[in-house]
Amino acid sequence: MEKERGRWVCVGRLREYPQTIGDLEALLGESGPHFELDGWMWCGRCERAYPVGEIRVMKSGPGWGYYEWALECPTDGCPGRRADWYPWHPNELPRAIHAGYPAVPETGARYPL
């Protein structure tokens, strides 16, 4: 998997791709939680929160593989992908079990489960 991951290149942040923001399903070719661009996401791998627009947009190398596009967690070195993320919402993890977590999180701050 590491060799395969090396073929992905970060081509920007999600906020730089307004034409794709409302259509994450098409971008990824898979289903998952719904995110609003002006909202926040929490990554279950690194347990950090970010504005949705900070999500890294990845593109695979020429002729490589079926998944031409992917989204990756903003934390350096975190392999978190969409399936690992939750909208920052009181009914979603981790806020559902940590009522004291703020309504607006600190960018990149760790909020343990």
Q: Count of CB atoms within 10 A of residue 79's CB?
A: 14
Q: Does 70 bind Zn ion (CB under 5 A)?
A: no
Q: Is 54 helix (H, G, I), strand (E, B) or coil?
A: helix
Q: What's the min distance (Å) between Cβ of 62 and Zn ion?
A: 27
In the range 28-67, which residues lie near Zn ion by CB under 5 A?
Answer: 43, 45-46
Cα–Cα distance between 87 and 50 in angstroms, integer?
Answer: 10
Q: Does 81 bind Zn ion (CB under 5 A)?
A: no
Stretch that binds Zn ion, among 16-24, 34-42, 80-88, 96-104 (CB under 5 A): 80-88
Q: Residues in the site for Zn ion, rule: CB under 5 A?
A: 43, 45-46, 73, 75, 78, 80
